[in-house]
Structure 1
Amino acid sequence: MTAGRGHVRARWMHRADGRDWRPWRRWEKQRLLMLLLGGLVGMEFLENGMFVFGSSHILGGIGAAPREFAQVQAAYAVGSMLMIALQQWLSRHFGYRNYLLLALLLFGLGDVASASANSLAQITTARLVQGMGGGAFFISTRVLIPMMFGVQQRPQATRVYMLMIFAVGAIAPLGAAWLVDNWGWRWVFWSVLPLSTLMALGVYGLLPAALGKSERPVRWSITPLLLFVLAIGCVQWSFSEARYALFDRPEHLALLVLAGVLLLGLFGLHQWRHDEPLLHLRDLTSPGFLAGLALYAVYYFVVNFSNYLFPQYAERGLGIPLLTTGWLNSFSALTSLVVAVVYIRYSAAIANKRALMMAGCLTMAAAAWWMSRLPPDAPAAALYGALAIKGCFGVLMVLPVAALTWRALDARHFAKGYQSKNILRQMTASLASAMAAVALQDSKFAQYSDLASRITPGNSTAQQWLDTTASTLQHHGMVAQQARHAALEMLAQMVDHQAFFMACQQLYQWLAVVAAVTAALVVVQRKLR
């Protein structure tokens, strides 16, 4: 296998007549390849980051409620996990160039369909197709780094790759805010199309056609694939339906979750026993690797929960304009980029990576607690401190986890491990988004009911406010009955806003607890060190 990869690397560095490229030409092509691989994964992170940030405006534009976000995210996750599961089979059968070109085509078609959607069903289907394309980018690009670069070039290729991801995180919120504010929500999707076209040209021009192809026949069966689709479909459907079924039909939700878990178990058992599985589970039993996957899952949960919550909290809770909210989110991501640069420069000198992971979790706990203590009239400037602290979390948590996780796994199984890790990433991200949407709606309902129960004829403060407001409205030309009705509507809006604000703060308190507990788990675990 290693000799084959070396042969591929040698082949793409030669001219058609067999002579070597000049050294500067070879270095130029290597740099282009680094940018291409970083650009592919960056494009998916950019599109997803903009979609999550602008989700309430996108769904509002097609007449769907914000809580429908869970369904749309579930569709993307199902499509993405399907493509990840097929990654090794497709790449070995068609080669990485054709595999990525197919993925880019699906991603672009999903982008066009999302931008043209006018209903929940349409955008859900579009995101399913787009997920099938996007699922190929993260896993394939990361696996291609050791395949296409020699030992000396890999560290730089990996640095470019990681910095591209963090840089995109700084662009996505502000880009989404600017596009929605100036051009409308559909441009969140249209704006990515030129980039996907550029990536397709790069893939076609820079990747060898035979890269990744297997010389022996590739075995494949439809049975495990159907089992996998049914399993993840049930699990993701339960995420999106939780908002409706949790209290109204809890037994239906429980059966759906149970069916998904059983199907996943059957799929895992089938893959464990199969000689040529879609997921190579038998090779991924290292305790250190499994501990790393668990910490990856917590990280993705916290990040995606927070990514959904912050725009809601800032724009609807604190009343901060959309564009300013985008600037604030990008400021936090820019902090992550700066910390990533410093980490890459000095991390080799820090032997205790667990201390960095614990520090990252504590920064997230501190940032979430800070958010939960802000007053409802807090200005945008009051958020900068919390966002700067939050920006340290991603780097201090996930980069040490990544270093230790892949060190615990045999290098021969890197591609197999990355495949499983990315399936976990999609499932956890979808779960976090669904739980954030469900928890925010339920918490708001509970807070609203509590506040509304206090507004009774016996509440002198509320009655005085109604009388004063109605009197003021009468002075502006309203008749008494109309003024009283308008005052009641204003009070209902105030209660609704306050309930939403309190619900966001409650979720931030929960998030702080989760981050603090994760810090404790990092300290006590002994498998990843």
Structure 2
Amino acid sequence: MISAVTCVEFLETGMVTFAAASIMGGLGLGAEAFAFAFTLYGVAAIFMLYKHQWMVERLGYRNFILGSLALFALGAVLCATADGLGQFATGRALQGAGGATFFTAGRMQMNRLPESARFGGLLVFVGTLLGAVALSPLAAAGLIHLAGWRALFWAVLPLCALVAFVAAPRLSRETTPAGARSEEHWGWLLGLAVALFALQYALQAAQFALFDAPGRVFAAGAASVAALTVFAVRQWKRERPLINYRGLFEPRYMAGLLFYFCGYFLMGLSGFLLPILFLHGLQLDMLHGAAILSASMACSLIGALSHAAMARQHSRPRVFMLTGLALVALSCLGFGRWAGAGDWHLLLAPSLLVGLSIPFFVGPVAMGTFVHIAPAVFSHAYQVKNIIRQLGLSLAVTAGTLLLQWRYARHLDPQHPGMDWAARLLHGQPGLPAHAEALALASGDVFNLCAAGVLILMGVVAVQRVFR
């Protein structure tokens, strides 16, 4: 039941990400307009992660999760019936607000299980989530083939209804007494929403306007960081804050957040690059590309379950983390070596390896980050962790876009590496063989840069003394 609630958002997000080009074509949207919808999704998601505990205290988990499912379903209806950017972006914002807290809510419900059943419950929880992610490319390709892109959103409605029917009798109605609830003035919450929008806007605008209007991008980013810092300082001083930062200021937790960010960045970067490489660089058909991507993500499920089994016998997180990073670097070098060869068969092994390896890095982080967190602030700790997840994924797409544009332009015309026209070609359908070849080579270059970054991260993991 817990896993079913959480996998709804993971499945939908995976399908929308894979089918981005089909949705853009169906709605007649450019890449920048589509990215704006993703920006609103991110803003709504992070805002609701801030408000997660506030809502639970007043509504109880049963009403909160059922309301979130209804909001997510309403967003799906708006997206499915949209004929332009406005309605589609509104629908995605509602889905972000409704779906972002499923992960935290599901994880918090795990703590209600008996101690003896908790490890098995966590395995089912993780396995269901990763299974939904692995299924999403094939599900998206199949639905588009059968009924078009709108089916991606209609398909989640019966799933939401089924989950609500199963979960409702099993979720707690308990609320928090009024005197013990977290609190914040709505004016400050409005300021938080504006600051989050500015941050997500800066990350999105950097993909398209960093070299045209760098001042605007950096100003928005700096202003948002300053505003969020002020909000965090205010929360630090409050007796009943939305997020108790004082209780989270613990060395192991802080180190875990850093490694979580790196892990989600690697997931986001590979998830961004692989569809571009296979569908546009190598120009595979959608079903063929979806099969490869689903196989890669299925290896993540195998990796996560394998790590969980081995970690019970050999509790050496640093060894697992270094092993995972070494395999990530090896897979990235494989992409760098063969992405431009034009033969997708050569990229099967790196695709499977990158999926298999990342859980060996993230798994020990997940097991060790919350060890010293007090039960009273565990929900806050998980809220912050999921905010870090959202930021890591967003920054990965931004960094991947900028690096890909740079290398794409270099390969397409080394004498004139202009960013403007390269960006337009990148985000359209590269119809000429030269464009596809340049895109494949550029993808390989970005994977090589990723390998270099992973080697640096390995050095950090090797010398740190927290996760040993």
Same-fold status (TM-score > 0.5): yes
Deviations 1:301-356 (A, max 9, x none): 11011101101100111122111111111111222222222222221111211110
Figure out how many residues of one structure are paired with residues of the other and give that number. 455
Could you tell me which of 222, 246, 265 is aligned with 1:258? 222
**Cα shift at 1:195:** 0.7
> Which amino acid in structure 1 is aligned with residue 237 of structure 2?
R
**Cα shift at 1:222:** 0.9
Could you tell me which of 288, 292, 304 is aligned with 2:268? 304
Within 1, Cα distance between the matches of 2:340 and 2:103? Answer: 39
Are residue 525 (structure 1) and residue 461 (structure 2) matched? no
SS at match of 1:320: coil
**Partner residue, 2:61:** 96
Deviations 1:211-270 (A, max 9, x none): x44364634421331222122111101111113331111111121111111101111111
**Cα shift at 1:363:** 1.3
- Scaled by the length of structure 2, what TM-score is found? 0.92
Within 1, Cα distance between the matches of 2:433 and 2:309? Answer: 50
Within 1, Cα distance between the matches of 2:74 and 2:303? Answer: 36
- Ranges in structure 1 where 5+ consecutive residues have no aligned partner: 1-35, 454-490
Are residue 395 (structure 1) and residue 356 (structure 2) matched? no
Are residue 214 (structure 1) and residue 177 (structure 2) matched? yes
RMSD (Å) for aligned C-alpha atoms: 2.0
**Cα shift at 1:376:** 4.0
Contact 1:70 1:433 in 2 (8 A): no
Indicate the larger mover: 46-55 or 179-188.
179-188
Within 1, Cα distance between the matches of 2:147 and 2:309? Answer: 40
Are residue 126 (structure 1) and residue 91 (structure 2) matched? yes
Q: Which has the higher Rg, Structure 1 or Structure 2?
A: 1
> Which amino acid in structure 1 is aligned with residue 283 of structure 2?
G
SS at match of 1:278: coil
**Partner residue, 1:166:** 130
Deviations 1:197-219 (A, max 9, x none): 11111232221322x44364634
Within 2, Cα distance between the matches of 1:434 and 1:48? Answer: 17
**Partner residue, 1:247:** 211
Contact 2:339 2:443 in 1 (8 A): no
Within 2, Cα distance between the matches of 1:296 and 1:69? Answer: 27
Are residue 499 (structure 1) and residue 463 (structure 2) matched? no
Indicate the larger mover: 377-386 or 298-307.
377-386
SS at match of 2:195: helix
Contact 1:230 1:263 in 2 (8 A): no
Q: Spell out the pairing of 1:221-232 with structure 2 (5 A cutoff).
A: 221-232=185-196
Q: Spell out the pairing of 1:323-402 with structure 2 (5 A cutoff).
A: 323-374=287-338, 376=340, 378-402=342-366
**Partner residue, 2:420:** none
**Partner residue, 1:14:** none
**Partner residue, 1:466:** none
Question: Against the structure 1 CA distance between its residues 387 and 495, is the aligned structure 2 distance closer, same or farther, given a 3 Å change threshold?
Answer: closer
**Cα shift at 1:141:** 1.0
Residue identity (%): 29
**Partner residue, 2:100:** 135
Contact 1:245 1:253 in 2 (8 A): yes
Deviations 1:79-106 (A, max 9, x none): 1111111111110111111111111111
> Which amino acid in structure 1 is aligned with residue 445 of structure 2?
Q
Contact 2:26 2:149 in 1 (8 A): yes
SS at match of 2:413: helix
Are residue 196 (structure 1) and residue 135 (structure 2) matched? no
Indicate the larger mover: 390-399 or 118-127.
118-127
Could you tell me which of 422, 426, 438 is aligned with 2:390? 426
- Scaled by the length of structure 1, what TM-score is found? 0.82
**Partner residue, 1:57:** 22
Contact 1:67 1:437 in 2 (8 A): no
Within 2, Cα distance between the matches of 1:124 and 1:514? Answer: 34
